Amino acid sequence: MSKLYFRYGAMNSGKSTALLQAAYNYEERSQHVLLAKPAIDSKGDRKIVSRLGVTREVDFLVEPKDNLRELFKAHRDSQTDSNEIACLLIDEAQFLTPDQVDQALELAVIDKVPVLAYGIRTDFQTKSFPGSRRLLEIAHSLEELKTICRCGRKAMFNGRVINGTFTFDGEQVAIDGDHVSYESLCASCYLEKKQVI
């Protein structure tokens, strides 16, 4: 049986690198994959961008209104070896809608196509993204990709930095730009930056 996988971690835990490595591993064995990401992730435009400098163009972008299963099938059918798609790899899966996560499960179970979704669990306020919440609820397999905080402990939170200052207010989504960045933090450093400690 094919499965829905959710591989999650704090910012800078190597999620995009792991996705690109998975794609490479399939293709090294002459298996075809499709890569996708939500269109809201404007970083890299139509590319998956790894911090290590590796990039790759996605096969399709997913808009909030799209049916993921139908979109996958349309792109699969446009391939020359349409029945040969070994899996669907999704970057920034936290930006999927809950319905799209349900459609990813349908792809895995009904269409027998493994779906490997990579993303973060929570935002800079430690609140789960709707897509991540649904993935945590229904994925067959959950795998945490780990990274470390500046203090050396396991990072589990994502701190938002605007103009060099940590902020804890604002919209849930603010894609990296000139003035917005993120830092992976352990619980102690997160609470310290939030001035709780």
CB 103 within 8 A of CB 67: yes
163: CB partners within 8 A, 6+ apart: 179
- Reading across the β-sheet that carries 180-185, which strands appear in turn? 165-167, 157-162, 180-185
Question: Which 3 state secondary structure label does DSSP give 83?
Answer: helix
**192 classed as catalytic:** no
Instruction: Please identify which of the residues 92, 137, 144, 171 carries the catalytic annotation.
Output: 92
Phi and psi at 140, nearest 5°, equal -65, -35
> What does the block give as tokens for 34?
């499709």
**Contact (CB, 8 A) for 73 and 66:** no
Across 2-110, the runs of DSSP E, i.e. the strands, are: 4-8, 32-38, 47-49, 55-57, 60-62, 85-90
- DSSP bridge partners of 35: 89
Collapsing DSSP to helix, strand or coil, 182 comes out as strand
Residue 3 corresponds to which amino acid? K
CB 146 within 8 A of CB 120: no
Which residues are annotated as catalytic?
Answer: 92
